[in-house]
Amino acid sequence: MKLQRVTQVDRTTIPTALLPAFKTHCRVEFARDDQYLKQALARAFDVFERLTEFHVFGVAYDWQPDWPAGGTEKIEIPMQPVEDFVVTDAEGADVSSDYEIVGIVGSDQVARQWLQPVSGASWPSSGSVKLALGYSVADELPPGILDIGFRVGSFLYENREMAAITAVDVMAYANSFISGYWMPRA
């Protein structure tokens, strides 16, 4: 299996769009800290991504799975949430209509997902899958992830002068927020 990021991670669009709501959450009524607030929110979502392996910021990866030899069994998708996918065969032709994602599908679901051929199709001998991950629009962010981002972001904003942070996850109680989105990996 080969996995390569093909787009830059956009860590500005979501925090910029969420700034007015985040300022309300933090009870900030002035503009002088806007840039810092956006940075705190971006860092909060980054912490969430690192701890859960669940993408918040929009990004695309090229995935070259170990294709099963001609069968129809499913292949586990290595990243989530998958917003869209494009399967190309060895010649570069788009054969996405021959495949589907199965498992718990939905942009706020944290569960294993698989790619499988639809009825009557089989795996190509080689090719790749382009995975579109995360959220490109702030309005699509699930409320649970938004809540975690706001709580961790406001902690980072309010405690920006702290010299020592004792927890590896930035705030000692972040795991209690994030535990609902954590999923053990095989």
pLDDT in tens, 112-144: 788 888 887 888 888 899 999 888 889 988 888
Residue 110 backbone dihedrals phi, psi, to 5 degrees: -110, 95
Does the pTM exceed 0.95?
A: no
**Which strand (E) or helix (H) includes residue 131?**
strand 127-133
pLDDT > 70? residue 1: yes
pLDDT > 90? residue 86: yes
Cβ atoms of 9 and 46 within 8 Å: the answer is: no
Q: What is the full DSSP assignment across 150-184?
A: HHHHHHHHHTTT-S---STTSSTTHHHHHGGG---
Greater model confidence, 72 or 4: 4
Q: What angle do CA 110, 113, 116 make, to 5 degrees?
A: 170
